[in-house]
């Protein structure tokens, strides 16, 4: 739902260019923050939890060490 709201805000024809840029920047920073937090939490999952989500310890370590800007 939040994604559709952001798409609406960005695509509105009456939105000034600076506001479009600000919304796009806020969306990008939010994605980076979520990615950073998710990757940090991945490192702390137990082997049983990783098994439940189908991720190996090696894959979890690799994903957790990626920089926040890389998808």
Query: Is 23:44 a contact under the CB 8 Å cutoff?
Result: no
Q: What's the pLDDT score for residue 57? A: 96
Q: What's the pLDDT score for residue 10? A: 65
pLDDT in tens, the chain (71 residues): 556 777 776 666 667 889 889 999 999 999 999 999 999 999 999 999 999 999 999 999 999 999 999 99
Euclidean distance between CA atoms 37 and 23, whole angstroms: 21
**Rounded-to-5 percentages of helix, strand, coil across the chain:** 70, 0, 30
Residue with the two structure tokens 């189908």? 54
Q: What's the pLDDT score for residue 20? A: 86
Euclidean distance between CA atoms 58 and 15, whole angstroms: 45
């Amino acid at each position: 739902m939040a994604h559709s709201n952001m798409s609406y805000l960005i695509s509105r024809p009456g939105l000034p260019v600076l506001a479009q840029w600000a919304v796009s920047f806020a969306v990008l920073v939010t994605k980076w923050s979520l990615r950073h937090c998710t990757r940090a939490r991945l490192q702390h999952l137990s082997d049983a939890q990783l098994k439940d989500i189908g991720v190996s310890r090696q894959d979890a370590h690799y994903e957790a060490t990626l920089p926040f800007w890389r998808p």
